[in-house]
Amino acid sequence: MDNQQLWYLENIDVGDIFCDTKMGHHTDSSSMKEFKKNDYVYFPDDNSDKIFFITKGSIKVGTMNDAGKEITKAILGRGEVFGELSIIGEDTRRDYAIAMEDTQVCILTTDQMKLMIKDHSTLSMFFMKLMGSKVLAMEKRLESLVFKDSKTRILEFIVDQVNTRGQQVGYEWVIRNQLTHQEIANICATSRQTVTTLLNELRNENIITFDRRRMLIRDLDKLKGEMNV
């Protein structure tokens, strides 16, 4: 695949594809739904017959192991998709999805989605890219769990949050709607105490500051440098 084709896949505008005028008879206004913070979109063992597109807010996708420990699989924001395994034959959900803030999603049934794929060739490529990127992300996460310590995993997570959700303010970066220390621990497969200790150390070194609403990265280069210490 040449660079031009890769550029094309990277720039599929799903929001444009799912606008009302292009969706036409495939959906109606009832497909848009609001979820309050901490509302569940679906639970494990629910029927897997819908696909969700986030138009506002953020969603956490996770699961519980047999011991009752929560495992966070992904934190998703505006423009991202979840529940897509229903397209390839998933019958019931294996995880749950919960709103992390007031969130709006566009909901389509699997049958609606299959009809739209026939009408919009870009959707086939989008879902191929989506599923491929999630497999790569899972492989990267597994490698991190096996080969890297807790500190490095937490630091990499913060840097990834800057890259995906951060807003630059002068020489600093701000991440809004900051996750709790427990949520970060769930994502990084470590303890809440380990997260709290490291974040406090970074704050004492004036690399970051944080509260319940946001995290401010004062020195991104120095933060990245901590991964090599």
φ, ψ dihedrals at 89, nearest 5°: 105, 5
DSSP calls for 127-196: HHHHHHHHHHHHHHHHHHHHHS-HHHHHHHHHHHHHHHH-EEETTEEEEESPPPHHHHHHHHTS-HHHHH
152 Cβ contact list (under 8 Å, min separation 6): 144, 227
- Greatest mean pLDDT range, 22-26, 185-189, 197-201: 197-201
Domains of the chain: 3-145 (2.60.120.10), 148-228 (1.10.10.10)
Kindly report the pTM of this predicted structure. 0.72
pLDDT at 23 over 70: no
Average pLDDT over residues 128-150: 82
pLDDT surpasses 90 at 220: yes
Residue 186 contacts by C-beta under 8 Å, 6 or more apart in sequence? 62, 70, 71, 72
Q: How far apart are CA 219 and CA 193, in angstroms?
A: 24
Query: Is the confidence at residue 183, as pLDDT, over 60?
Result: yes
Mean pLDDT of 137-142: 80
| pLDDT one-digit tens code per residue, 104-118 | 998 988 888 888 888
Q: Name the β-bridge partners of 208.
A: 217
